[in-house]
A and B are shown apart, each in its own frame.
Chain A
């Protein structure tokens, strides 16, 4: 699909959180938040990681950033492993990987002015020193995210949600990273503001050429920004395909269910929806076989015993499902 070696390569990434219980605080069980995830991101590419709440998509992002330490697996940045770096050697990595958080209110320290917030990464990585140099760099960052320069003297609480998210983006851009992990970066925003921020990130990607890992539960937004999509369910990737393929010819029943939940802004279109019943099973005790079999409308005996592996179902499309043909293809309108 692309000949360029991947910027970020993730293989077999696992994160199990121990559950402590009892009087002596012994480990009684594990939460299998992320249980073997593989993907790669090329330079300047956008990969979206979608799935329901609690499927482990944010945990993947946090493990890549080394905000938490992965339990197992390899993460390679430009071919060098970063998952086992000691904490003392993480700083060069931090400069290359940045993060934008979901909540624009709690992701900015309420006691710091915008200038101080944006100056923090600059001084940490020695990218600017001295008052005037920092002022210049911060002003450039404010320009990049289309905020007025003089508002750098304000506190976060003086801004609206969308403006705060722009500040968060500016902070992520400050060290000129190669990849930005957007952890539900637009989920907390109003629809109109959401569109502005998505457009801004697209423009910035064109301008600066950084890769994006776009973690989201919202396929409608993902469709506008991404090159490829990975669908996660209960700690595993169930389908990974490029955007056109996934939105036109998705294979996995879970992806189809997610797609059928995306609203279509036309009340005259009658659609048959795949309604999933029940809740996501607990990641403490995931189902045997295919993890989706408890809610899958197409599950058969093999699904309950044998776990499907990711296999190529069409060029640039891999899916973890025992079904050979895309199930229920007729119940989705073409091009939905």
Chain B
């Protein structure tokens, strides 16, 4: 059967497949720079910070914990690039080694919070019964400011980088699981998920083939922002003495120790603060760029 009822002088459209547009290939890196300058800039700055953290021992540093009481509070000079603190420790070496703590905490929290939050989000997005309970717990956790929650958790344990990571991760999980849950709930209603159900695809396969890959873009973006906020939280915790123990140099520790001399020797606080700001800026730039590149709709929402 085909269309027969047509007015005189009209013909039915021919049964031809439309013409497919040709696939274009361009120089990939140049396109990347032109289209997403923030990704390139942020990525480059993060890479520099990573190199600093990895290569800290060979970047003309000395032992960051070595005390030299006779060389206290020296101004920045050719010998002490960033000066020395009130115990005579080299601020340049301490700041460079501090990069390790910051990046370790930032990346670990981002990865852990993303993994745990994704699992919780998938469960509560798929199981209605679990959803009610889990989301009430998350609501409760979200009613406490993340920094206060992290401080409270640190108060329960001894100060160590591992405990800092765990505390900040717990404080960040509610936001991630809310995000993933929301994405899962909207993806579940997508016709292609219904089509997959109608095609006999089993639930685990639906999750791994149709739901999970489509949550990765917003999750990646969220993870970069968590990374930045975790580095700030770590610095705050260390600054108030509730974070990384004083024996390990971290930007928060250095600033806390320099705080007393802030008005006479501002460089002790200045250099770690600059490093912290630049790193957080770099990660946020990277996150912004990824958001625009991966999910243009999300860019308008946040």
Contact = CB atoms under 8 A, between A and B. Distances in A.
Interface string B15-41: 111101101000000000000000000
B194 interface: yes
A103 B1 contact: no
A30 B200 CA distance: 30
Interface stretch (B3-11, B66-74, B87-95): B3-11
Contacts of A160: 18
Contacts of B200: 90-91, 94-95, 121, 124-125, 175
Interface residues of A, number: 55
A91 B201 CA distance: 9
A124 B199 contact: yes
B265 interface: no
A202 B213 contact: no
Contact of A120 (B10, B21, B194, B199): B199
A171 B199 contact: yes
Given A121-B200, A160-B18, A265 B190 contact: no
Contact of B192 (A90, A108, A163, A203): A108
Interface residues of B, number: 33
Interface string A244-256: 0000000000000
B192 A65 contact: no
A283 B179 CA distance: 33
A316 interface: no
A31 interface: no
Interface string A29-71: 0000000000000000000000000000000001001010000
B12 interface: yes
Contacts, number: 104
Nearest to A191: B13
Interface centre among A91, A99, A102 (most CB of B within 10 A): A99
B191 A106 contact: yes
Interface string B106-149: 00000000000000000000000000000000000000000000
B214 interface: yes
Nearest to B10: A265
Given A67-B198, A195-B12, A162 B191 contact: no
B198 A99 contact: yes
Contact of B18 (A107, A162, A205, A223): A162
Contacts of B21: 158
B191 A203 contact: no
Contacts of A62: 194
A175 B4 CA distance: 30
A168 B198 CA distance: 12
B2 A202 contact: yes
A175 B199 contact: yes
A147 B17 contact: yes
Interface string A154-193: 1000111011001010010011000000000000000011
Contacts of A163: 17-18, 20
Given A108-B192, A148-B17, A203 B2 contact: yes
Given A101-B191, A168-B195, A200 B17 contact: no
B155 interface: no
B196 interface: yes
A98 B2 CA distance: 22
Contacts of A223: 5
Contacts of A120: 196, 199, 201, 209
Interface in B191-232: 191-192, 194-202, 209-210, 213-214
Interface in B148-195: 190-192, 194-195
B1 A98 contact: no
Contacts of A102: 191
A146 B190 contact: no
A206 B1 CA distance: 7
Contact of A109 (B5, B20, B210): B210
A109 B198 CA distance: 14
A185 to B, nearest CB: 11
Given A106-B190, A109-B192, A195-B3, A124 B198 contact: no
9 contacts: A90-B200, A98-B199, A106-B192, A146-B15, A158-B23, A174-B199, A196-B14, A199-B3, A205-B1
Interface of A: 62, 65, 67, 90-91, 94-95, 97-99, 101-103, 106-112, 120-121, 124-125, 146-148, 151, 154, 158-160, 162-163, 166, 168, 171, 174-175, 192-193, 195-196, 198-200, 202-203, 205-206, 223-225, 265-266
Interface of B: 1-5, 7, 10, 12-18, 20-21, 23, 190-192, 194-202, 209-210, 213-214
> Nearest 6 CB-CB pairs, A to B?
A107-B191, A121-B199, A124-B200, A94-B200, A101-B191, A192-B13
